[in-house]
A and B are shown apart, each in its own frame.
Chain A
Amino acid sequence: MTVANTISRAEVGASPRRPPPAQESGAVHWLKKNLFSSPFNTAMTLLALWALFVTLPDVIAWAFLDAIWRTDDPAACRAAAGACWAVITEKHRVILFGTFPYEEHWRGTLAIVAIVGMAIISAFKRFWSAWLFGAWLAAIGIVLVLLLGGVFGLTPTGTHQWGGLPLTLLMFVGTVVGGMPAAVLLALGRRSSLPAIKALCVGFIEVVRGVPLITVLFMASLMFPLFMPEGMTIDKFLRAQIGMILFFAAYAAEIVRGGLQAIPRGQYEAADALGLSYRQKTGRIILPQALKIVLPALMNDIIRAFKNTTFVSIIGLFDVLGATATALEDPRWVLYAQEAYIFIFVLYFAFCYSMSKYSEHIERDLSKGRNL
Chain B
Amino acid sequence: MKRTVIATGLAFAVSTGAPIAAHAGPTVDAVKARGAVVCGVNGNRAGFSALNSKGEWAGMDVDTCKAIAAAVLGDKDKVQFVKTTSQTRFTALQTSEIDVLTRNVTWTLSRDAKLGIDFVAPTFYDGQGFMVNKNTGAESVKDLNGATVCILPGSTSEKVASDVFRANGMSYTPVVIENKKELNTAFFGGRCDVHVQSTSGLSSARATVASNPEDYVILPGVHGKDPMGPAVRQGDAQWRDIVAWSVYAMMTAEELGVTSDNVDKMKSSDDAETARLLGTKGKLGETLGLDQDWAYRIVKQVGNYGEVFERNVGSGSPLKLARGINSLWTQGGLLYAPPFK
Contacts and interface: CB of A to CB of B under 8 A. Distances in A.
A47 interface: no
A339 interface: no
A316 B84 contact: yes
A316 B91 CA distance: 13
A330 B52 contact: yes
A162 to B, nearest CB: 11
Interface stretch (B7-15, B41-49, B275-283): B41-49
Nearest to B84: A316
B155 interface: no
B87 interface: yes
B50 A330 contact: yes
A325 B208 contact: no
Contacts of A231: 26, 30, 96
B204 to A, nearest CB: 6
B173 interface: no
B110 interface: no
A99 B51 contact: yes
Contacts of B181: 337
B55 A158 contact: no
B176 to A, nearest CB: 22
Contacts of A325: 44
B207 interface: yes
Interface in B74-96: 80-85, 87-88, 91, 94-96
A95 to B, nearest CB: 9
A236 B40 CA distance: 13
A66 interface: no
Looking at chain A, what size class is its interface with the partner chain?
35 or more
A218 interface: yes
Interface in A219-236: 221-222, 225-226, 228, 230-231, 233, 236
B183 to A, nearest CB: 13
Given A316-B88, A334-B209, A97 B55 contact: yes
Interface stretch (A2-10, A14-22, A86-94): A86-94
A212 interface: no
B207 A221 contact: no
Interface string B248-284: 0000000000000000000000000000000000000
B209 A335 contact: yes
A337 to B, nearest CB: 8
A329 B50 CA distance: 7
Given A94-B53, A97-B55, A331 B46 contact: yes
B51 A327 contact: yes
B232 to A, nearest CB: 15
B85 A316 contact: yes
Contacts of A161: 80
B97 interface: yes
Interface in A90-111: 90-91, 93-94, 97-102
Given A102-B56, A335-B209, A318 B83 contact: yes
B319 interface: yes
Contacts of A90: 53
B227 interface: no
B85 A314 contact: yes
Interface in B82-118: 82-85, 87-88, 91, 94-97
Contact of A315 (B85, B96, B207): B85
Given A233-B96, A236-B82, A330-B50, A99 B57 contact: yes
A177 to B, nearest CB: 26
Given A102-B54, A316-B43, A226 B94 contact: yes
Given A329-B50, A332-B318, A98 B55 contact: yes
Contact of B208 (A97, A318, A335): A335
A163 interface: yes
B55 A94 contact: yes
B320 to A, nearest CB: 10
Given A225-B95, A233-B95, A316-B85, A160 B53 contact: no
A225 B97 contact: yes
Contacts of B207: 331
Contacts of A100: 55
Nearest to B48: A329
B29 to A, nearest CB: 11
Contacts of A94: 51-55
Interface in A129-158: 158
8 contacts: A94-B55, A160-B81, A226-B94, A231-B30, A231-B96, A236-B97, A316-B82, A323-B51
List the 4 closest pairs (A to B, CB-CB), nearest first.
A225-B95, A316-B83, A331-B208, A331-B318
Given A99-B51, A228-B95, 9 more contacts: A91-B53, A100-B55, A225-B95, A230-B96, A236-B82, A314-B87, A329-B45, A331-B207, A334-B209
